Amino acid sequence: MSITIRIIGADWCPDCRRIKDLLNEKKISFVYEDQGDVKEKAKDISGNPKIPCCVFPGPTFLNEPSNEDMMKKLMEIGLVDSST
């Protein structure tokens, strides 16, 4: 089963760059959307305009997650284990 993570973000956003760096470091593929009104897209998904808005299967999402929160979610959905 392939799991797709969708990131709504912007290149000017330091938190978006941090989350992309974390996923790249862990070699986790993702779809990055940075076109149009990203804050409006995030709000449509989560009710909150904060980015990055990370969308997971389920569908579940995290807005502006810390690295720790992102890692917990990645463990929960089976993309990383506790040893990484």
For 27-68, write each residue's pLDDT tens digit. Answer: 999 999 999 999 999 999 999 999 999 999 888 999 999 999
Contacts 24+ apart (CB under 8 A), 20-26: 22/67, 22/70, 22/71, 26/74, 26/79, 26/80, 26/84
Residue 81 within any structural domain of the chain:
no
Residue 24 within any structural domain of the chain:
yes
Residue 83 within any structural domain of the chain:
no
Residue 66 within any structural domain of the chain:
yes
Q: 56 is in which domain, residue-wise?
A: 6-76
CATH code (residue 33): 3.40.30.10
Residue 84 within any structural domain of the chain:
no
- pLDDT of 1 strictly over 60: no
- Answer whether 0.85 is exceeded by the pTM: yes
Contacts 24+ apart (CB under 8 A), 39-43: 41/8, 42/8
Residue 50 within any structural domain of the chain:
yes
Residue 1 within any structural domain of the chain:
no
The count of structural domains within the chain is 1
Task: Tell me the percentage of the chain whose pLDDT exceeds 70.
Answer: 96
